[in-house]
Amino acid sequence: MFDDLRDLYQEVILDHGKNPRNFGKPESYNRTARGDNPMCGDKINVYLTVDGNGIIQDLRFDGRGCAISQASASLMTEILRGKPAAEAEALFEYFHDVCTKDDDEQGVHENLDEDATDKLAVLSGVREFPMRVKCATLAWHTMKAALHGDPVTSTENSAF
């Protein structure tokens, strides 16, 4: 019915979009940020618990968004749980390339958890939909802002 969109709306995405994991504001957390996507009016909150060793012990999100942004946020929470903050940022770098560049143009991303990169690959379909890239990256921008202590971020002002 929507053959052209098979790559964008993969089953995993539809599933996470409809049933986002780790959704809702947790009782406690020590880092948080809000992300705005003014293009569509979406707002998302990311709540992180980072321990003394810089490990992300818990992360959750709430807010509203399209299937892509909800699924991306949901997948992110699954992937980053238990990972060091530095690795979270490295994964975002990788994910950015996945969303915006063809396979042969992507940078070198070494020492990344293969499970994580495999999971992220399902979102690579947005590459063909430049207007939707920010939907996919909103949660990640927000996660990064939270790690850096910025209370609010907006994808409007980012290049991707």
Candidates 33, 67, 76, 88: give the one binding other proteins (CB under 8 A).
67
Binding flag, residue 9, other proteins (CB under 8 A): yes
CB of 158 to other proteins, least distance (A): 9
For residue 158, give both structure tokens.
């980012």
Among 12, 62, 129, 150, binds other proteins (CB under 8 A): 129
Under the criterion CB under 8 A, does residue 107 sit at the interface with other proteins? no
- Least CB distance from residue 108 to other proteins, whole Å? 23
Residue 125 has what DSSP assignment?
A: G
Give the phi and the psi of residue 52 in degrees, each rounded to 5: -60, -20
User: Which of the 8 DSSP states describes residue 26?
Assistant: -
Q: What angle do CA 28, 84, 57 make, to 5 degrees?
A: 25
Q: Which is nearer to other proteins, 24 or 130 (CB)?
A: 130
Nearest to 103 by CA among 80, 87, 125: 125
Interaction of residue 133 with other proteins, rule CB under 8 A: no
CA-based R_g, the chain, Å: 15
85 touches other proteins by CB under 8 A: no
CB-based contacts of 147, cutoff 8 Å, min separation 6: 31, 48, 50, 85, 88, 89
At closest approach, how far in Å is the CB of 2 from other proteins?
6
Chain-centre distance of CA 26, in angstroms? 18
Applying CB under 8 A, among 48, 99, 133, 135 the residue interacting with other proteins is: 135
Residues contributing to the site for other proteins (CB under 8 A)? 1-2, 4-5, 8-9, 14, 18, 36, 38-43, 64-68, 129-132, 135, 154, 156-157
